[in-house]
Structure 1
Amino acid sequence: MPPKQDSNNKVKKRVRKSITMEVKSKILKLKDRGYSTSSIGRELNLSRTTVQTILKDKEKLLTALPSVSSNSTIIRKRNALIYEMEKLLYNWIQDQTQRRVPLSLAIIQNKALSIINTLQNKRGENNSDETKCFSASRGWFMRFKTRYSLHNIRVQGEAASADHVAAQSFPGILKEIIESGDYSPKQIFNVDETGLFWKKMPSRTFISQEEKSMPGFKAAKDRLTLLLGSNVEGDLKLKPLLVYRSENPRALKNYVKSTLPVIWKANPKAWVTSILFEEWFTKHFIPEVKQYCSNNNLAYKALLILDNAPGHPVRIADIDPQIKVVFLPPNTTSLLQPMDQGVIASFKAYYLRRTFSQAVKANENDGMELRDFWKSYNILQCVKNIATSWDEVTPNNLKGVWKKLCPFFFEPSESSTSTDQPNVDEITTDIVHLANRLPDIAVTTDDIDDLLSSHSQELTDEDLIELEAQVQKEALESQEIASSISDSEKELTLKKLSVAFANLKNAMKIFEENDPNFERSFNVNNKICAAYHCYQDLYDSKKKEAKQSRIDSFFKPKV
């Protein structure tokens, strides 16, 4: 039956009726008397499908009828297992979308069935009557989209693949934009997000093997998101944006986050949302570019090239008229996006090499086992290693990755060659050598390759369940830490500064007295003195403030 229309030809929304237990009891009695479902529906002014649905629950109704009053209303309550599945599915879809992974209806339906099966297995509810009929139908998906406001998710019959035709034509379009705006390679930028499992070991190490059998949250699944970028020239490496799931982790207690070598932001899923991206664009990207142009005697203007990820709102194009924002064609990120052409891969290899180097040093110098080192490795050390690894990415690397998108900036022979990225295979070999210096560790290049590639893999059902539980737990911990933060707990006093200066002077004295190369020790000492000059100024300022008054000022004069 088509929906009713009013006098203005507007479709009236169908109102769902609440059915009392009294009505349901009548349906059961009429059926026992031999009435058909159609005749019962006509008798009680109900649809035939409604009557059929109620009759299917006959056994449950017979159990409930003696204990329920006749006027009580049955409220439709969604199954708890399906509710939890949808919550995890929503997180998975958002994660896939953040990583620009195209989705089809069939893929989402299969994932929904996979998650609900995993939840049933964990709870021992494989034969649950309430979920065994769940089929992830198209109708369910449309209702699910409405419940979670997934209006920006476009689902096709099949998942889209890389668009090679658009990737071939876009560089020509971009060239016209660059020429019309008269942008130099110094004024053209690209940024891209990437996930980083910052505390993950190769799968064959004993740490990873132990985690597989450990209940609860696994440290290896702890992921953050980074936004990395630079200009074509490669001489402006933007300060990384780091998004973590906790605003106040214990390792950063009493640190002023604005002084970190990254831009620290947080949300429960560690995603770069459109709000965070707009804030980064306004408060960080624009000022950094403006300062760079001023330092290099350039006109203040820039071209920012982005992919069409949902976290990149189109409205940022209207924030500053001097910053033009251009979006790559859909499904061309893997083919054109500069940061995806080698920068992110080399950065992650540098990060892993640095963490293994620190583990080896802790073992050889302090006798610390890898298990203990990894247990003590916290988000503050991770931030330091991110900053150092980002510094290791060279200007040649940053410049070379633009050859596919902007071949017109390179000589023909130069643009036809591979990008100037460092040899990731060589870095992987370094990592293997470092790892195998640790006792009871044996990893291969394949293990390291798998680990590096795992950062871009989708979250499994188990990952989704564990991360959701950890998000809830750490939300409470973060509130407790925030309420206990005290500015006085971390302070450079005059005494602490004096001790630090004495230690530095002793170290420089050792260099000078024992190094036969005077020029080397002399240069090192000068650099060290220049480096901690800011602390000397702080010491002088504090000493001036603490200057004691004359002793006779504390006594009252005699009358």
Structure 2
Amino acid sequence: MVYWCHNFHIFVLFVGDFTVSMASKRSAKTLSGVPKRKKAVMCLTEKIRVLDKLRSGLSYSAVGREFNVNESTIRYIQKKEQEIRQSVREAAPESAKVTSIVRDAAMEKMEKQLTLWIHEMTTNERSVVDSVVVRLKAKEIYGHVTQGQENVKPFSASAGWLARFKRRYHMKNVKLAGKAGSADREAAEEFTKYLLSIIHEKGYMEEQVFNADETGLFYKNVGKRTYVMRMASKAPGFKSFQDHATLLLCANAKGDFKCKPLMVHRAQNPRALRGKNLNRMPVHWRWNKKAWMASGIFWDWFHNCFIPEAERYLHSKNLAFRVLLILDDAPVHCHEELENAHPDVEVLFMPPNTASLIQPLSQGIIKAFKAHYTRELYSKAFEALDANEEATMMDYWRSVTIRNVIDYIGTSWDSIKQATINNCWGNVWPDCVKNFEGFEGVTKNIKNTVENIMHIAQQISGEGFDDMKEGDVEEILAEMAVEPTNKDLDEMAKHGIGVSDDEDTDESQPTTPRIVPLTAAKIAEWNSALEKIFNDMEECDPMLERSLTFKRLTSNAFVPYAETLKDLKRKAKQTRLKQFFKPVWEGKLLTPPSCESQTPEVELPDLAHHLH
């Protein structure tokens, strides 16, 4: 017999003398007043933390309580340890932070290399990286990474896969050409507000705020239409003719200080530099086989070039050595390591796809430098041909050595005016600009240099020079990067980005050891260890006064780390920049992943109590 109760929404079923009450899940929740436990979905990064906790000796139940999941979930994660660790090793950090399942290793490798390829290609303003191109490139890279493997899963690079890929790697859109095309204006505006709040809160002056960025330089490029370049292109191994280097440029907001450029060349010790004092050159000389910037080179530049130069400059101005350095989000910029790399240097990273809108060096400084360099190259060519009537442009082009190139770079960088640099900060920090002429003023100066280049070129005999147009010069200035091959991508993925620091670093150059980042979690771990030691001493030492003395002295010594932890926790509680730049796909705001890592809440030692 079945009765229906309107008040409680309960079915009561009588079967003989046995009564079974059944309530809907909603009714049970209402009656009990206890909310249903939300299902926890852990990303791969959190699962690695679980596995590390288990390896440290914690029990399944203890780890489950810490991560607020059932013990059975912890046991299942340990069962899949090998697959999880393999998947994280193959994946890029961005993917591991949002992916909860173990994915195919070939797919992880392909996506990691694809992100590196996209980053390299979007540094070239003439590169078109739309959805169709990305899907075709993904299939090509997948075929490369699975070459020779058996039982390879088919991969079609569908639109659905592309949508998920862009979510995993926080790519707002991949549909337009170059940096400016994919620029995120909303993120740029939010970053500008955040930057200005930091400058106002901490009282940074325009002398103390710097921006650094890399650019490619084809230092013998005199224009593709010229006879010289057309003849060179017919020669075997043309890429070696069109010599390429990477330059790292850095300047402050006031515009009165420019760091010595860092030049990354493919040769360790070129013949033209043998016997030369590298420390007295107008560039910092570094090298690797691809002439790429690498994280080890950037780390070395930060400690051994940037900090000493900035410190000398600020002391000469009778200003405190307090520096704010603004960088883009390139992987080589050692994000985590730079957060606490130096107590007097604060580093801010611009969000993805915003450099073309707000990065000062991208607002005209780099282009002005390349215009000055090209004018210097043409001027020296004209002088050489004027001095020797029998010489040709090809003769001069072949005679240019890396030593000449370094001199041209030094002269060109020195030619950038303070007003030009200061005006290029107008988009990100308008108040620091003195006598703002607008970017039209910067553009006008560059245009004058371009006209000067054209005038010099017309005086040089040879096909392609006497009829050189403004567009030909603009093409030279826009030449920034070359597309990496699949082999290059393999090497970049293997070593993070760039090439192997161990393989290519010159032992004669200064090196700075890499450090493990000082994080809130690490300090909290030390804090917990101290608390355990204090408790053990109080229990085991029969002389209570001795243990309390040790506790007081140790707590006093730990105060700097306790203050650092409080500062890191304060920063973590502030609105994170990443929350401003939530990825958008097809006009819909995506929900941020629930497994975003957070700074753990840690109970600090009661230092005041220990001192009594």
TM-score for both structures, normalised by structure 1: 0.59
Structure 1 residue 431, shift from structure 2 partner:
1.0
For 1:134 and 1:210, locate their aligned partners in 2 and report how far apart those are by CA, in whole Å: 46
Alignment of 1:419-438 (within 5 A): 420=442, 423-438=445-460
1:96 Cα deviation after fit: 3.4
Partner of 1:185: 206
Match of 1:444 in 2: 469
Confirm or deny that 1:275 pairs with 2:296: yes
The 5 Å alignment of 1:469-484 reads none
Deviations 1:279-331 (A, max 9, x none): 11111111111111111111111111111111111211312111111111221
Partner residue in 2 for 1:459? 483
Q: Please state if 1:405 is matched with 2:472.
A: no
Letter in 1 for 2:136: N
Q: Deviations 1:526-555 (Å, cap 9, x if unpaired)?
A: xxxxxxxxxxxxxxxxxxxxxxxxxxxxxx
1:8 aligns with 2:93: no
Change (3 A) 1:130 1:346: same
**1-side partners of 2:185 and 2:191: how far apart?**
10
3-state DSSP of counterpart to 2:75: coil
The alpha-carbon deviation at position 223 of structure 1 amounts to 1.2
Retained in 1: the 8 A contact 2:369–2:416? yes
Of 309, 321, 326, 2:348 maps to 326
Find the aligned partners of 1:212 and 1:417 in 2 and give their Cα distance.
Answer: 36
Alignment of 1:136-535 (within 5 A): 137=156, 154=169, 156=171, 158-159=173-174, 161-314=182-335, 315-367=337-389, 368-410=391-433, 414=436, 418=440, 420=442, 423-441=445-463, 442=466, 443-455=468-480, 457-459=481-483
Number of residue pairs the alignment of both structures matches: 377
Distance change >3 Å, CA 419–CA 427, structure 1 → 2: closer
Is the partner of 2:403 in helix, strand or coil? helix
Residue 86 (structure 2) aligns with? none
SS of corresponding position for 1:234: coil
Query: Structure 2 vs 1, CA of residues 217 and 420 (structure 1 numbering), >3 Å: closer, same or farther?
Result: closer
* Partner-residue secondary structure (3-state), 2:409: helix
Cα offset for 1:217?
Answer: 3.5
Aligned residue among 90, 96, 109 for 2:121: 96
CA RMSD between the two structures: 4.2
Note if contact 1:262-1:383 (Cα within 8 Å) is conserved in structure 2: yes
Q: CA deviation at 1:108?
A: 4.3
Percent identity over the alignment is 33
Give the distance between the partners of 1:158 and 1:87, measured in 2 at CA: 17
Contact in 2 for aligned 1:396/1:421 (Cα 8 Å): no
The C-alpha deviation readout for 1:479-505, integer Å capped at 9, x for no partner, is: 9xx99xxxxxxxxxxxxxxxxxxxxxx
Where in structure 1 are there 5+ consecutive unaligned residues? 16-77, 79-84, 120-127, 143-149, 469-474, 484-559
Q: Could you say what secondary structure the match of 1:168 adopts?
A: helix
Alpha-carbon distance between aligned partners in 2 of 1:207 and 1:463, rounded to the nearest angstrom: 30
Q: Which residue of 1 aligns with 2:29?
A: none
Counterpart selection for 1:110 from 130, 136, 139: 136
Aligned counterparts of 1:417 and 1:192: Cα–Cα separation in 2: 19
Pair 317,449 (structure 1): closer, same or farther in 2 beyond 3 Å: same
Alpha-carbon offset, residue 262 of structure 1 = 0.3
Change (3 A) 1:252 1:88: farther
Aligned-residue offset at 1:213: 2.5
Change (3 A) 1:458 1:178: same
Q: Give distance in 1, aligned partners of 2:432 and 2:172.
A: 39
TM-aligned CA deviation for residue 420 of structure 1: 4.1
User: Alignment partner of 1:398: what SS?
Assistant: helix
- List per-residue Cα deviations over 1:156-215 (Å, max 9, x = no partner): 595272111122233222121111111111111111110001111211111221233222
User: For the residues of structure 2 that align with 1:8 and 1:185, how far apart are their CA atoms?
Assistant: 55
Calculate the TM-score normalised by the size of structure 2: 0.54
Amino acid at match of 1:447: D
Q: How far did 1:261 drift?
A: 1.0
CA distance in 2, matches of 1:232, 1:7: 51
Equivalent residues of 2:325, 2:346 under 8 A apart: yes
The alpha-carbon distance between structure 1 residues 109 and 171, as it changes in their structure 2 partners (threshold 3 A), is closer
Which secondary structure state, in structure 1, belongs to the residue aligned with residue 248 of structure 2? strand
- Partner secondary structure for residue 195 of structure 1: strand
Q: Hey, what's the Cα distance between the residues in 1 that align with 2:128 and 2:342?
A: 31
Q: Which residue of 1 aligns with 2:556?
A: none
SS of the aligned residue for 1:227 comes to strand
1:238 is displaced (CA, Å) by 0.7
Q: Quick check: which has more Rg, 1 or 2?
A: 1
CA distance in 2, matches of 1:14, 1:428: 59
Compared with structure 1, are the counterparts of its residues 298 and 434 closer, same or farther at alpha carbon in structure 2 (3 Å cutoff)? same
Note the C-alpha offset of 1:347. Answer: 0.5
